[in-house]
Amino acid sequence: MSTGAGLVAAPVKRSPSGPWSLASGRADLLQNGTQAHDTAWSLLLSPCPELQGAQAYPQASLVYGHRVVWVGSLSADGFCTYLQLEYLEQARALARQKEVSFLLPAVLQKLSYGGPVLRILSVPDDTLIMIREDGAIYFWSPQLKLKRKKQIFGKSRSGKPRWATDVISMPQFNKLIVGTGRCELQLYELSNLEPYCQISSLEATPLKLDYSFLDSDKCLILYGDDQGCVNILFLASVGELLRIWKKMPKVDNMPNITIQNVITSPHVNYIRWKVHGDWVTQLNYCDSLKAVISSSNHEPTALVIGTTDAPIMIAVVLSLGGESLEASHLFFSVLLWASGTLLVTPDAIQTLGLLRS
């Protein structure tokens, strides 16, 4: 059978009912057993730029991509398997395209005057949460319809200003964590943004937050601060801990517990490591790798990847561009992480993301 485009696909044996098809080939295989395995298919594909017959022979079109001359034999079962895999991959590719497709033109939504937007994150019900530096939190639908808005910072009795630095959600416990410029981690009810409790007197200002749910009642709360440190709170019996913190005396109308009192609990393990030579610009916990990735503007420690095991003191010996760095640039007396990796980049890093495949 010639397509007029350099492809010949002719069965040695032909079904009396008419042209061979994928369905008839499979039926023939089941009916005749090993006899069908002896059915050979001669395929000839020549390198030609135009294949006008492709639309008439969909089975043959699957091999048009090969730009070589090939002659061989293929059993009916093997050919059926090949076609099945090809069509399956085409279906998967189409599904992937639908997953990442953009709806254009983009939906625009004007915002009122206020502080800069710090972060936009999503929660399991597809709601988008946006926080501004002045403490204004917006809940949007995927179509950018405003669900609700609230200013979470009220007037402070001390008169000191309070501003937000980052936000992250704890969907398993229906909480929202907000870092503040007054060295606090504030927890709010995710459903109505009512104040729940806060952890105060942190060692430094938390700039970047992350959260990871470990199992039924355990989680990690991570934050990078303005001193270049990565801080990790391992929490067990989270529900019980939150109920205890909720009963603490209030400061500025919010139950308050200091970090010093938090770490005295047997259900809390706190780790603070000096990782960067400048403030942390981004921090992510990769659950599949059990690793924390952080970045900073300090070029020699621009990107650090480490595990959550106990830290060890190490001296870093690296070279950049074939030239060894001076000793003063190599040793910072920093606590890097066990099995950690320090990557030297030619410039500072402002943000990072994880690609899971």
The domains of the chain, with CATH numbers, are: 7-99 (no CATH), 109-274 (2.130.10.10), 281-357 (no CATH)
* Per-residue pLDDT at 30: 52
Q: Which amino acid, 126?
A: D
Q: Containing H/E element for 296?
A: strand 291-296
Q: Is the pLDDT of residue 67 over 80?
A: no
Q: What is the pLDDT of residue 19?
A: 47
Choice between 189 and 52, residue whose per-residue pLDDT is larger: 189
Which of 28-42, 57-71, 146-160 shows the highest mean pLDDT?
Answer: 146-160
Mean of the per-residue pLDDT values of the chain: 73
**pLDDT, greater one: 328 or 311:** 311
Residue 321 clears pLDDT 80, i.e. is over it:
no
Confidence of residue 153 (pLDDT cuts 50, 70, 90): very high
CA pair distance 142, 106, nearest whole angstrom? 12
Say which residue, 225 or 346, is predicted with more confidence. 225
The residues facing 335 across adjacent strands are 313
- Work out the average pLDDT over 65-75: 47
**pLDDT category of residue 24 using cuts at 50, 70 and 90:** low
Mean pLDDT of 177-196: 96
- What's the pLDDT score for residue 150? 93
- Which run of H or E residues covers position 151? strand 146-151
pLDDT of residue 235: 95
Top-ranked range on mean pLDDT: pick from 73-87, 184-198, 332-346: 184-198
Read off the pLDDT band of 22 (50, 70, 90): very low
Please calculate the CA angle 190-123-109 and round it to the nearest 5 degrees: 95
Q: CA–CA separation, 78 vs 139, rounded Å?
A: 54
Residue 208 is predicted with a pLDDT of: 96
The pLDDT score that the predictor gives to residue 165 is 97
Q: Given CA atoms 341, 345, 350, 355 in this order, what sign does their dihedral have?
A: negative
What integer pLDDT is reported at residue 344 of this predicted model?
Answer: 45
Mean pLDDT of 342-354: 52
* Mean pLDDT across 295-321: 59
Report the pLDDT value the prediction gives residue 352, as an integer from 0 to 100: 58
State mean pLDDT over 160-171: 93
> Which pLDDT band, with edges at 50, 70 and 90, does 12 fall under?
very low
Which has more pLDDT, 351 or 304? 304
- Which tokens hold the place of 33? 């057993």
SS3 label, residue 150: strand
Band of the pLDDT at 263, cuts 50, 70, 90?
very high
Angle between helix 76-99 and 22-32 (nearest 10): 140
